[in-house]
Amino acid sequence: MTASKPESKPELIQTAADVRIAATRVGEGPTVLLNGGLGMPAGVWQFTGVPAALVEAGFSVITYSARGLVPSSAPPAPYSVPEMADDAAAVLGHFGVDDAVIAGYSMGCYISQVLASSWPGRIRGLAMIAGLRSSAIGEMVNEMELGLIERLGEIPEAVTVFEQLMTTLGPGMLGDDLTVRAWREVLTAGEPVWASPDGLKGQLSASHGWMLAKEPTPERLAAIDVPALVVAYQHDVFFPPSGSREAASHMPIADFHELDGLAHGGLMLDPDRRATALLVEFCRKVTAS
């Protein structure tokens, strides 16, 4: 579907009785929906280069801030991945999208997988970057964070910053003190991303529920009958390449790529933008007919 006009200012879309989602559509051409990771407002996509590359390649791109994130609303926790997928489907409906390529990063891949079954017959392709098959470390971090919220009412900033540093940066960057200190400054200087404490707890509970259910199951993966792109990063401790590769093997039409030298933040930190290039080429391929 082709957008009637580029739109850069976010629209607030009512997706449920107590949920409003801030979403933006830019560009002209076949639609690509970008599902962000846990705690990832729509604006963070700009640092990946993905929206600009897709628009330049002739696509219409929809980004949104999931429930719980500024400037969207934060309904009472807990949330579930299916609820968040319903929000995404409502965003697509608001923009009048009949078919789309669905792309996700990190937890956004959970939402993308649910859309594959809840929005059937309209998905041209499914792209998952650093988000297929979570690890035991990911489960432990989720449990730790929820436990801290229960005990303290929040996650201390020092804990959040340390976790993000250790999982986002690759070994080379972690071994450089100047780089680590610079990233610490970046992570502590930004504006709050959560609309309320319920937002953080809600998204964490959605992620934890997905992991507890041992998702994605082989059955869910086998039912994804559209072309799929799966990208994993060599040093990603949340979604290791071995698990992503095994999960991709259950999908009928999946193309798997492991990108070396990077960790979970590779989509933003790769100077060569390899995942972005793979995504653009994938979108071209699945929308060519």
Q: pLDDT value at position 7?
A: 46
Sheet with 123-129: strands ordered across:
11-16, 19-26, 60-65, 31-35, 100-105, 123-129, 228-233, 254-259
CATH 2.60.120.260 for domain 11-286 = no
pLDDT band at 9 (very low <50, low <70, confident <90, very high): confident
Whether residue 2 has pLDDT greater than 70: no
> Rounded to whole angstroms, how far apart are CA atoms 238 and 122?
30
228: left (phi over 0), alpha (psi -120 to 50) or beta: beta
> Rounded to whole angstroms, how far apart are CA atoms 9 and 207?
29
Segment 106-132 mean pLDDT: 98
| CA distances, 22 to each of 9, 12, 71 (Å) | 9, 4, 6
Q: pLDDT value at position 1?
A: 36
Segment 129-142 mean pLDDT: 97
Residues with Cβ within 8 Å of residue 268, at least 6 apart in sequence: 44, 47, 48
Backbone angles phi, psi at 15, to 5 degrees: -105, -20
Q: pLDDT value at position 188?
A: 93
> Rounded to whole angstroms, how far apart are CA atoms 181 and 243?
31
DSSP 42: G
Q: pLDDT value at position 190?
A: 82
- Tens-digit pLDDT profile for residues 31-79: 999 999 999 999 999 999 999 999 999 999 999 999 999 999 999 999 9
Q: pLDDT value at position 170?
A: 96
Local structure of 105: helix, strand or coil: strand
- Tens-digit pLDDT profile for residues 189-240: 988 999 999 999 999 999 999 999 999 999 999 999 999 999 999 999 999 9
> Rounded to whole angstroms, how far apart are CA atoms 201 and 213?
18
> Rounded to whole angstroms, how far apart are CA atoms 209 and 47?
29
Whether residue 3 has pLDDT greater than 50: no
> Rounded to whole angstroms, how far apart are CA atoms 141 and 171?
19
- Tens-digit pLDDT profile for residues 260-289: 999 999 999 999 999 999 999 999 999 997
Residue 10 token pair: 């976010």
Mean per-residue pLDDT of the chain: 96
